[in-house]
């Protein structure tokens, strides 16, 4: 991590934006010991987050929300920042999906695009985790705000979400 990160432990929660504070409290409640940290610059894209953290883009566990067509259920795919998501692979697990606009993302998750956390959504999504994340030891995920992230292992991500681990990556033919 770069030294410009602002650590937010149990004594520094007030320094976090409201949505990130909510995530930090939820993580603590679930026994996750690592703090939510604020990036000095936005982490809205995987590349921006990786640059701010000094890690590989693949280590960014990006949250992508889709809308399931048959019932408008939110479908959350947590993918490696290095991967594009193959919608056909997602559909094989959850049914036909479409893109979710910013309003749908905010309504379903409670978070703005760029800050969607893997947990703590307004409406519980159908969730899938990219199997490629399990090739890594350490991941960074959004913590409810475009500048807020938290560190975890792939196994912790699976435990926190209860989601299946599947191949969702778009591969070159």
pLDDT tens per residue, range 98-146: 999 999 999 999 999 989 999 999 999 999 999 999 999 999 999 999 9
Phi, psi of 23 (to 5 degrees): -65, -45
DSSP structure string for 97-160: EEE--HHHHHHHHSS-TT---SS--SSPPEEEEEGGGGG-S-EEEE-SSTTEEEEE-HHHHHHH
pLDDT tens per residue, range 92-109? 999 999 999 999 999 999
Torsion (CA) 103, 98, 146, 140 in degrees, nearest 10: 150
pLDDT band at 76 (very low <50, low <70, confident <90, very high): very high
User: pTM of the full predicted structure?
Assistant: 0.91
Domains of the chain: 6-166 (3.90.960.10)
What is the percentage of the chain residues whose pLDDT exceeds 90?
85
Rounded-to-integer distance, Cα 140 and Cα 2, Å: 14
């Amino acid at each position: 991590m770069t030294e410009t990160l602002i650590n937010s432990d149990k004594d520094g929660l007030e320094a976090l934006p409201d949505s990130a504070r909510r995530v930090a409290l939820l993580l603590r409640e679930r026994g996750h010991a690592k703090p939510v940290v604020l990036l000095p610059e936005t982490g809205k894209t995987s590349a921006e987050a990786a640059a701010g953290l000094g890690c590989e883009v693949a280590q960014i566990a990006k949250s992508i929300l889709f809308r399931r067509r048959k019932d408008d259920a939110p479908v959350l795919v947590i993918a490696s920042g290095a991967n594009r998501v193959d919608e056909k692979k997602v559909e094989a697990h959850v049914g036909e999906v479409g893109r979710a606009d910013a309003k749908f993302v905010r309504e379903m998750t409670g978070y703005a695009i760029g800050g969607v956390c893997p947990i703590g959504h307004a409406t519980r999504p159908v969730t899938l985790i990219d199997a490629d994340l399990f090739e890594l030891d350490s991941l960074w995920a959004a913590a409810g705000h475009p500048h807020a992230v938290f560190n975890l292992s792939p196994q912790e991500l699976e435990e926190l979400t209860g989601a299946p681990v599947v191949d969702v990556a778009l591969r070159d033919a």
